[in-house]
Structure 1
Amino acid sequence: MILGYARVSTEDQKVDLQINALRAAGCDELITDHGLSGRHLDRPGLERALSKLKEGDTLLVWRLDRLGRSLIDLVQLVDELGKRGIHFTSLMENIDTKSSSGKLLFHMMAALAEFERSLISERTRAGMAAAKENGQHIGRPPGLTEEQVKDAGSAITNGRDVTEVAARYSVTVRSLRRMLKKSATLA
């Protein structure tokens, strides 16, 4: 049996392209996951697919990153499949572990994919550091303006309940306390 597995990361994405390619490649059955990251292997569709596969079967994916994003997880999963006598095929990378060269190619492609993700992560961190050095705010915008934080602090100092003040500004008590603490250290 050739079992096709398709995955999209968000509910808004469509899995049609993957399904059409898997069907054209001759898969007997399709299992999908919607709105689930490839970062973790605890996906209901993938778990169902892995439990259905038997010795001599093939797990077919459209692209390697549909199965997983971590090099370690991908290698472990394909190794586990191999120990169970199950083949793995990725259409876009033309990887087929039925052959020795397919196994080698899988390991090389997985390593390159991991390397690319590391480079992207490094560039992102460098860009964030440069923006921070240039005085740009990184992350979510503050929930309150400086003036609102001062007004909230005054209200609390004058006896208002912190829960009531937080509700007035539509922020959590924890967020209000954090903003007040930060404002006090800047003053």
Structure 2
Amino acid sequence: MEPDSPDLLAPVGRGGALIGYARVSTKGQKLDRQIAALEAASCQRIFSDKKSGKNAEREELWNALDYIREGDTLVVPSLDRLGRSIQDLISIVAGLRKRGIGFRSLHESLDTTTPGGRLVFHVFAALAEFIRELIVQGTHEGLAAARARGERLGRPPAMTEEQIRHARSMLADPDASVTSIAKLLGVSRTTIYKYVPELRAGHRPSVGGQHSGLERA
């Protein structure tokens, strides 16, 4: 149950204006049918976007959400016209409910201004959270199993042990620059400094184990 509502099934959005929202995802698609359906549903004002549901900017949707007021109801031709995903859809509808605004989807006959419609959407939200928790749990179990098998997790190192040995050997030559060695090994200067830490202190490896001054500028 939502903390801001004492009754999970309490309807919201009754008695206000019906505000429509339509969207097409490609240039070739037309809004005519969606707008006609929204007009038939008695929407007093209709906002429309001609952008993909994956486009986070959906300007007219945000304009509709800014325009709509408590007691009103947002109407869409179908659920996939509103959200990019089930989580996105639930987030938008939950935000509407907190503002006292209803939601209707014509194709699915879903109406949160009724107790039954509100219950269906609550089930959707619970299912989405359950799936998210399963994914997180599965990820954690997979990582634990990989660690138990001794597998290395995360990104592979930028330099192998063999490359580090080659770098140290070449750096023992005072005429060799860090830049040239980095290019030869196919890594950046920063990587060389990371894997040969004595360079940061101004020293270079030497064959005899002693250190000499850092490369020329």
Q: TM-score, normalised to structure 1's length?
A: 0.60
Cα contact 1:59–1:86 (8 A) shared by 2: no
- Structure 1 stretch displaced more, 123-132 or 149-158: 149-158
Q: Does 1:126 align with 2:141?
A: yes
- Counterpart position of 1:135: 150
- Counterpart position of 1:165: 181
The partner residue of 1:52 within 64, 67, 90 is 64
Return the offset for 1:123: 0.7
Return the offset for 1:63: 8.1
- Counterpart position of 1:108: 123
User: Whole-Å Cα distance in 2 between the matches of residues 176 and 121 of structure 1?
Assistant: 36
For the aligned residues, what is the CA RMSD?
Answer: 3.9
How many percent of aligned residue pairs carry the same amino acid? 32
User: Whole-Å Cα distance in 1 between the matches of residues 146 and 107 of structure 2?
Assistant: 37
Judged with a 3 Å threshold, the aligned counterparts in structure 2 of structure 1 residues 129 and 103 are, in CA distance, closer, same or farther, namely: same
Who wins on radius of gyration, i.e. which is larger? 2
**SS in structure 2 at match of 1:69:** helix
The partner residue of 2:159 within 139, 144, 147 is 144
Return the offset for 1:25: 9.6
Counterparts in 2 of 1:11-160, with a 5 A limit?
15=25, 23=34, 26=37, 30-31=48-49, 32-33=51-52, 43-45=56-58, 48-53=60-65, 54-55=68-69, 56-60=72-76, 61-62=79-80, 66=84, 69=87, 74=91, 77-82=92-97, 86-89=101-104, 95-159=110-174, 160=176
Partner deviation per Cα, 1:63-100 (whole Å, 9 max, x = no partner): 886256379x81xx434323556433468976432222
Q: Which has more helix, going by share of residues?
A: 1
Structure 2: unaligned runs, 5 residues or longer: 1-18, 39-45, 198-217
The count of corresponding residues between Structure 1 and Structure 2 is 160
